[in-house]
Amino acid sequence: MDMGKAKKKHVGDGNMGHNKKAKQNGHKAEEIAKEFLPKFFDTVKVEFINSLIDFYVNGHYIEVKSCLEWQIDSSHGEKGRRRGRFVIYKDQHDFLLKNNGFYLFVMRRLCGKTFIKLVRAKDVPVNFNNRNKCLVVWTKVMGEVV
């Protein structure tokens, strides 16, 4: 398993409160992944890899991405909101593509209900536009949920 150099975990930019909440959501999503992945891949071994890619399970690299169903967005008015987005980093995406890897997308509602979808990296609609990251609305990879 050649991971190359381990890289620092990506740190978002902007509002510190937002970053703290995003980090907490990410940790919750990784805990959910630890429960979900052994059942999906019929194994007991879920190996944490490094800060570039989260897990290695039965020969598959898996990066966990999380978001909330709705985010506050003042550009949509005083009480505006928009659908949550997954942050996809180019270096992670390139690694997953090269190794036929997956994303485990975790979308959470404020009520605590969680939706999970495992998607091959090649099937994720990304557009980096010469940037190191892009945002993908959860409905683009998970569809509408009830």
Give per-residue pLDDT as tens, 12-25: 333 335 567 677 77
pLDDT higher for 28 or 64?
64
Q: Comparing C-alpha atoms, which of 137, 129, 17, 28 is closest to residue 87?
A: 137
Q: Comparing C-alpha atoms, which of 114, 100, 106 is closest to residue 58?
A: 100
In the chain, where the domains are located: 16-142
What 3-state DSSP class applies to 111? Answer: coil
Question: Are 62 and 52 a contacting pair, CB within 8 Å?
Answer: no
Give residues with Cβ within 8 angstroms of 112, minimum separation 6. Answer: none
Angle at 67 between CA 76 and CA 102, to 5 degrees: 135
Q: What is the CATH number of domain 16-142?
A: 3.40.1350
pLDDT higher for 14 or 41?
41
Give per-residue pLDDT as tens, 77-103: 667 788 999 999 999 999 999 999 999
Stretch 110-128: mean pLDDT, rounded?
A: 92
* Helix or strand run (H / E) with residue 17: helix 16-41
Q: Note the pLDDT of residue 132.
A: 95
Q: Note the pLDDT of residue 7.
A: 40
* Radius of gyration for the alpha carbons in the chain, expressed in angstroms and rounded: 15
CA distance 12 to 135: 12
Q: Note the pLDDT of residue 122.
A: 98
